[in-house]
Amino acid sequence: MSRSAIPQATLLLSLFIAALLVAPLLLPEFYLTLLNYIGLYAIVALGLVLLTGVGGLTSFGQAAFVGLGAYTTAYLTTVHDVSPWLTLPAGLLVTALVALSLGLVTLRLSGHFLPLGTIAWGIALYYLFGNLAALGGHTGISGIPPLQFFDLELRSGREFFYLIWAVLLTIILATRNLLDSREGRAIRALKGGAVMAEAMGVNTPRSKLVIFTVAALYAGMSGWLYAHLQRFVNPTPFSLSQGIEYLFMAVVGGVSHVWGAILGAGLITVLKQWLQDWLPSLLGKSGNFEMIVFGLLMILVLQRARDGVWPMLQRFFPQAPVHGPMIKAQALPRRPLPEAGSVLLEVTDACKRFGGLVANDRMSFCVRAGEVMALIGPNGAGKSTMFDGISGVDPLTSGAVSFRGQRIEALPARAIAQRGMSRTFQHVRLLPAMSVIENVAIGTHLRGRKSFVAAAFRSDRGEEARLLQEAAAQIERCGLAEHMHELAGSLPLGKQRAVEIARALASDPCLLLLDEPAAGLRYLEKQALAELLRRLRAEGIGILLVEHDMDFVMGLADRVVVMEFGQKLAAGLPDEIQRNPAVIEAYLGGLE
Ligand code: ADP
Ligand code: MG
């Protein structure tokens, strides 16, 4: 990747903006109208890029939010004579309130129930528009006033053009900024990394609600513009079929790329126009043939280009490096560690059942600050289940867990993370398409405060530099400096485990839960890991370690608990455990 890639990306953007600036001077009205509609659709599709492409939440109901924005201004400007500049915030407020209420109900649904839920309220709102007498029923509302900038009335599409595209470009840049931030990383973790994100302190239901509301606000904004461009609204453009079309636009363009929204909206709008014009003359009869051909083409695109068209185009452009040089930032404050030797974690009579299987059976043990406590046992003994129970990832069936003197067994994973516990996963949970530093930065989530609004406007840069610097420091500490900007998914498994440790450390924990951190490491890497754990222990961090490499465990652990069939088989000092006949029989003997 070359450094000159940044100016090149800026050059492309400048060319695009220049083309937009001269378009109204050169193009006939017909094409400007087309471009206006592409812009309006792209605003909605951009919301879906965020919601569906990045966040993994499929919505068929965005057209209804467009309707809310459009009908609010139509009603207020015609019936109550309110200025359109006031109906914009009013429309966005209505959209946000409806989105928040719908989101609170629907976003809890999982799998295919969520898209079905969006279909349900999409249809409900559409019929509401058509059946409310105050909104003009199916005839709609006409006589909506044009937008006015001082003396300039935006009466024609030519005058409206700049407004639509300025709005679109602004929200594209704001969305891109949002995704490249602390909140953005949490959002990007929703699809495929929600369990990990929660364990790093991310409130995933809240992140989902945020992108759902933002996507609805984009749609509402598009609706407000639409109403004043058309100066007339009726329910038709806010139907479920339009909602489906918005989703197609996002998918065809490139569902996880902000610029894909424009591309998708452009391709579909032009294609439909073209089919509408040419098919009847080609076939010699009229009818809705374009919808049939359109549907077939969509199937083809979904078959051939799953990620949409934008990634195909992107191949021809140089990629900008993800991060510029690091700016020196002030180090993040550290949490005061409990006194070495004090009990950090106390597990009492912990039980976990999976149906008839008892994976953890009356387990009791404790971990102190400044010690390495090893939890060992054959495969299937219940060690990882114990980790999930302690960290809140999969709560215990019964029993008590105290962390730093407080009961935590009923708390969600993010609340436990907040109290200073962090963990790695036996089956590595990284976001493979994100760089190593971005993955590790997710660990710093609870150490930042800036909201998604601050991120959108880039006023979070100071804090962001501190978070990234912390992530970089932990990456170096775990011996991964040379891989900082590589994609996490491209690393070998042993190094991915090290990334998990760096991510856990980035949260500034006082208790670290490591599930088989040395698996897949070479000898020297294991030694470096042992050295790192010794240093952490000396700092006063408590470490609960699950590991199969007995040399590694016995050379490092202060105390050992042995599990078998979910139960505690033995506990003691490493020497005692190595001499314990029951342990040798059950575990060590079985290995040799
Ligand atoms: P270990 O980490 O010691 O190898 P685990 O905690 O992964 O063992 O598993 C303990 C037992 O619980 C195993 O028999 C495993 O099959 C079972 N188990 C683990 N997770 C689940 C689950 N989500 N549903 C059902 N059974 C599970
Ligand atoms: Mg395990």
**R_g of the chain computed on alpha carbons:** 28
Q: Kindly state whether residues 433 and 549 are assigned to the same domain.
A: yes
Q: Kindly state whether residues 518 and 380 are assigned to the same domain.
A: yes
Place of tokens 């510029």: 324
At residue 205, the pLDDT reads 95
What is the Å distance from ligand 2's center to 377 Cα?
9
Whole-model pTM?
A: 0.92
User: Is 516 contained in some domain?
Assistant: yes
Length of the chain (residues): 592
Instruction: Provide the residue type at 475 as one letter.
Output: I
User: Is 302 contained in some domain?
Assistant: no
d(CA 459, CA 449): 12
d(CA 114, CA 454): 29
Atom of ligand 1 at shortest range from CA of 386:
6
Kindly report the CATH number assigned to the domain that includes residue 529: 3.40.50.300
Structure tokens belonging to residue 13: 């953007």
Q: Kindly state whether residues 422 and 547 are assigned to the same domain.
A: yes
Mutate to test the pocket of ligand 1, among 357, 425, 546, 591 (most ligand atoms within 8 A of CB): 357
d(CA 557, CA 588): 16
Distances (CA, A) of 172 to 46, 154, 456, 581: 7, 23, 10, 66
d(CA 315, CA 297): 23
Under a CB-based contact definition with an 8 Å cutoff, are residues 73 and 225 in contact? no
Chosen domain end from 241, 259, 279: 241
User: Is 234 contained in some domain?
Assistant: yes
What is the Å distance from ligand 2's center to 497 Cα?
14
What is the Å distance from ligand 1's center to 364 Cα?
18
Place of tokens 């202060």: 558
Place of tokens 């909140």: 183
At residue 319, the pLDDT reads 57
What is the Å distance from ligand 2's center to 383 Cα?
5
Place of tokens 């649904």: 109
DSSP structure class, residue 219: H
User: Is 383 contained in some domain?
Assistant: yes
| CA-based nearest residue to 111, from 58, 35, 42, 154 | 58
Q: Which residue has the CA at smallest separation from atom 15 of ligand 1?
A: 380
Atom of ligand 1 at shortest range from CA of 352:
12
User: Is 579 contained in some domain?
Assistant: yes
Chain-centre distance of CA 217, in angstroms?
18
At residue 592, the pLDDT reads 44
Q: Which residue has the CA at smallest separation from atom 26 of ligand 1?
A: 354
Atom of ligand 1 at shortest range from CA of 355:
25
The ligand whose atoms approach the alpha carbon of 587 most closely is 1
User: Is 515 contained in some domain?
Assistant: yes
Chosen domain end from 215, 241, 267: 241
SS3 content of the chain, % helix, strand, coil (to 5): 60, 10, 30
Q: Kindly state whether residues 431 and 563 are assigned to the same domain.
A: yes
How many CB atoms lie under 10 A from the CB of residue 272?
Answer: 15
Q: Which residue has the CA at smallest separation from atom 13 of ligand 1?
A: 380
540 sits in the region (left: phi over 0; alpha: psi -120 to 50; else beta) called left
Chosen domain end from 204, 225, 241: 241
At residue 150, the pLDDT reads 82
User: Is 508 contained in some domain?
Assistant: yes
Mutate to test the pocket of ligand 1, among 353, 354, 397 (most ligand atoms within 8 A of CB): 354
Structure tokens belonging to residue 374: 């090893």
- Contacts of 548 by beta carbon, 8 Å cutoff, 6+ apart: 376, 516, 519, 591
Domain count along the chain: 2
At residue 3, the pLDDT reads 45
Q: Kindly state whether residues 217 and 348 are assigned to the same domain.
A: no
At residue 293, the pLDDT reads 81
> Mean pLDDT, consecutive 10-residue segments, the chain of 592 residues?
58 88 89 94 96 92 96 95 94 97 88 88 93 90 90 83 95 95 96 95 96 97 96 94 91 85 91 83 74 80 77 70 65 91 96 95 96 94 96 97 96 97 96 96 96 94 94 95 95 94 97 95 92 95 95 94 94 92 73 47
Ligand 1 pocket, residues with Cβ under 6 angstroms: 354, 357, 359, 377, 379-385
User: Is 194 contained in some domain?
Assistant: yes
- Contacts of 60 by beta carbon, 8 Å cutoff, 6+ apart: 115, 118, 119, 122, 240, 243, 244, 247
Q: Which domain holds residue 37?
A: 32-241
d(CA 68, CA 283): 39
